[in-house]
Every structure is written in structure tokens, then in C-alpha cells.
Amino acid sequence: MKNNSQHPKPEDGEKRKLKKPVICYPNKSIKIDRWSDYQVARKDLDKIDEIIIPPRDAKCFEVKAGNFFRIESIDGPQVGDLNLFNLDNYDEKFYSGKTRALHGTHLSSKDQMWSSFPYLRPLVTITYDTLDWYGFDQDGGSVHDVIGTRCDPYTKNLLSNDQYHFCCHSNLTRALVNEKNLEQKEAESLVHDVLNVFMCTGFTNDTHQYFMKASPVRPGDYIEFFAELDLLGVLSACPGGDCSAEHSSDAANCYPLKVSIFNSNSNVLKDWESPPISKYNQSHGF
Ligand SMILES: [Zn+2]
């Protein structure tokens, strides 16, 4: 938190701090070649499947490459924790940290969710977001973050000594065990940091600590994704509800979330193909 400094500022300290920031990962070279086709395709969608995620629980869903899916708020404001995998290879999964490095702290339309090394390719492209009006608020907060992790019973225990079993980490683990027939240990090791769907978060101005505030999401709001690969998604309806007060407990009002999967009737993407994995040759200097 940088508030326990043991060193006086050097004489030229202020001058050193005045250097201009340089974007670490200029993302102008990441082009979504078919963006306008995605927008055409999404105008003529047929719903082919629907999954309701009960509060304080998680469920799996599968989406074929080239289809769309939406995560929708129903009944009341609710935050969701999303994990994504390549359906045919769970080793390729969502990489929150690199997605953050490429797109910033919070995602919206035209951002992509990238997969882990050595694959590093988009798993999805976000094609529509009814909360895109929110931008950033006066506290620097925004929605759909990739700066948080997933709420989990280990941190809960570290901070309060409790045994709580319905954090998103546990919910995601149970969904993988129950629906994908994985051993608990294997399932837990596959769970990864999430896209915090609908969650409103940021870093405080003074200590730069991670904060949350009541999600602006309302029933009917949704975020929509184009599946770049055959995907396994796992979504948890966070025990924090709208995350206005606390998470990792049964205190908050919680609501279900809806996942809808769509096929497009448009043939504009007829010749579209899944993106290839990273072209880096993986020699690492050996
Ligand atoms: Zn959670």
C-alpha cells in the first residue's frame, strides 16, 4: 500500500516522478478483422440454449465457435464470475492478467478475453454491452473488471477465520466436478481468475486498494460475446449479490443469472475460422 516508507525522498525525487507514462502494451496492432461482420451477424440470432445460474452457485455451459452467448441480469442486480476454457483442451484457459495488460482494468465492447500461454489467442470478442454507458465514475470505478480475482474461501479464512463454502472459487469448482466429472483436486486447479461480470470496481485514489461498489446492472442488462473457439464456460452467481457491501458470506441479496446461447442466421461469417495459437516458436533461447 506504499504507506510505510522508510526512506526520505532523494533531492531529485519529484523530478524522477514527473516522467510521462508509456503504455506497456500498445494494442493498436490487435485488429478485430471481422468486427463489422460480428455486428451484422448479431442482428439475426436464434436462441439455441439457455442456462440459469442459481444464486451462490455456478453452472457450466458450452458454446460452439462462431456462436454468440449473453450473460444477462434477471430478477435483481447480481455479479457473476466467469471462467472460460478451450472446450477440447482445458489447459488453454482465460488469462486475466494479460487481458488486463492488453485492454485495461475493465472490459467492454470490442475487447477480447485472451487465453493462457503458450496459446495466447482470443477466446471471445465482446460484441455488445448494455452497461457501456457507465464508462468510469468519479471514484475511478467501472464494470466488468479483470483486476479482481474470484472470491475464495482461503482469503476469507485468512481475513476472518471463517469456513465459508459458497465463494465463487468453490462454486466454480463444484460446477466442474458435478458437470464435467472431474476429480475435486483437478477441478480446483483448473479454476482461474475471472472476468467479474457486472461487478463495479476500481482502485482507491489514496491507497490504490481494490474497491467494489453497488453494481449498476439492472434486470435486462446483458454482456454479449462471440465465441472464437469451441468453449466451456463456467459462471458463478457471486455470494456478494450486487457487491454493494460484502462478498464471501450469505449476507447479501443474491439473484440468478441467465446465460443464453445463440446461433446467427446470417451467412456473413461463413468463411470465418477460429484464430490460430500464438506464432511464437516456444524455443525460449534454448
Ligand atoms: Zn464472487
Q: What is the pLDDT of residue 230?
A: 98
DSSP state of 179: H
Mean pLDDT of 1-15: 91
Element spanning 285, H or E: none
Q: Are 235 and 61 in contact (CB under 8 A)?
A: yes
β-pair partners for 235: 59, 82
Largest CA distance in the chain: 66
* Rg (the chain; Cα; Å): 20
Mean pLDDT of 282-286: 97
pLDDT band at 217 (very low <50, low <70, confident <90, very high): very high
Q: What is the pLDDT of residue 71?
A: 98
Helix (H, G, I), strand (E, B) or coil at 255: coil
pLDDT band at 208 (very low <50, low <70, confident <90, very high): very high
pLDDT band at 246 (very low <50, low <70, confident <90, very high): confident
Query: Distance from the CA of 63 to the center of ligand 1, in angstroms?
Result: 23
Residue whose cell numbers read 525522498? 9
**pLDDT per position as a tens digit, 38-58:** 999 999 999 999 999 999 999
Query: Distance from the CA of 230 to the center of ligand 1, in angstroms?
Result: 25
Residue whose cell numbers read 453497488? 214
**Percent of the chain at pLDDT exceeding 70:** 100
pTM of the model: 0.95
Q: What is the DSSP string of 17-61?
A: HTPPP--SS--TT---TTHHHHHHHTTSEEEEEEEEE-TT-EEEE
* Nearest of 150, 152, 182 to residue 60 by alpha carbon: 182
Q: What is the pLDDT of residue 239?
A: 95
**pLDDT per position as a tens digit, 81-120:** 999 999 999 999 999 999 999 999 999 999 999 999 999 9
Q: What is the pLDDT of residue 247?
A: 75
Query: Distance from the CA of 10 to the center of ligand 1, in angstroms?
Result: 43
**pLDDT per position as a tens digit, 172-201:** 999 999 999 999 999 999 999 999 999 999
Q: What is the pLDDT of residue 249?
A: 77
The C-alpha atoms of residue 224 and residue 70 are separated, in whole angstroms, by: 4
- pLDDT above 80 for 286: yes
- pLDDT above 90 for 27: no
Query: Distance from the CA of 168 to the center of ligand 1, in angstroms?
Result: 4
Instruction: Locate the domains of the chain by residue range.
Output: 64-264
**pLDDT per position as a tens digit, 248-280:** 778 889 999 999 999 999 999 999 999 999 999
Query: Distance from the CA of 229 to the center of ligand 1, in angstroms?
Result: 26
Q: What is the pLDDT of residue 235?
A: 98
Query: Distance from the CA of 148 to the center of ligand 1, in angstroms?
Result: 10
pLDDT band at 130 (very low <50, low <70, confident <90, very high): very high
